[in-house]
C-alpha cells in the first residue's frame, strides 16, 4: 500500500511539471516548463492550497534517487570535448570556485532559516 501511495504522489508531482510545460508552450514564458511547474508547486504549498503531507513521501522517494537524474547531463558534456580540449584547464578552477560559492550560500541560507525556525518555536513556547 505504501508503494501505491508513493506512486500516486510522484504522479501528482509530475502533474506540476506537465502543467508548467503546458504553460510554457501556451504563454511562451522565457523559463523552462520544469521551473514553472516548480513555481506552481511552491505557490500551492505556500498558499496552503496543497498540503505537504499529500506529496511528502513521494518527494522523499524522488530525492533519494536524485543523483541518477544528473547522469544524462554529465554524459551530454562528452559532446563538447572540443571545447574542453582548448579551455578545459580554465574550467577546473571555475568549477571548484563555483562549487564553494554555492555551498557557502546554501549553508548560510539554511542556517538563517534554522535560526528563524528556532526563534519561532521559542516564542510559541513562551506564549
Divide the 127 residues of the chain into consecutive groups of 10 and give the mean pLDDT of each group.
Answer: 89 96 95 94 94 92 86 78 76 88 93 89 76
| In contact, 82 and 88? CB cutoff 8 Å | no
Distance CA 95, CA 87 (A): 13
What residue segments make up the domains of the chain, in order of their start?
1-69, 78-127
Q: Which residue has the cell 526563534?
A: 119
**pLDDT for the residue 25:** 96
**pLDDT for the residue 70:** 79
The DSSP 8-state label assigned to residue 31 in this structure reads: S
**pLDDT for the residue 101:** 95
Amino acid at each position: 500500500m505504501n508503494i501505491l501511495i508513493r506512486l500516486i504522489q510522484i504522479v501528482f508531482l509530475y502533474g506540476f511539471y506537465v502543467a508548467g510545460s503546458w504553460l510554457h508552450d501556451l504563454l511562451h514564458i522565457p523559463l523552462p516548463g520544469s521551473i514553472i511547474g516548480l513555481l506552481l508547486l511552491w505557490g500551492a504549498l505556500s498558499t496552503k492550497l496543497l498540503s505537504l503531507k499529500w506529496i511528502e513521501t513521494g518527494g522523499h522517494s524522488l530525492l533519494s534517487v536524485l543523483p541518477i537524474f544528473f547522469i544524462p547531463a554529465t554524459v551530454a558534456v562528452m559532446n563538447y570535448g572540443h571545447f574542453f580540449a582548448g579551455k578545459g584547464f580554465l574550467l577546473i578552477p571555475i568549477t571548484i570556485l563555483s562549487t564553494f560559492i554555492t555551498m557557502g550560500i546554501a549553508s548560510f541560507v539554511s542556517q538563517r532559516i534554522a535560526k528563524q525556525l528556532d526563534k519561532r518555536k521559542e516564542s510559541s513556547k513562551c506564549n
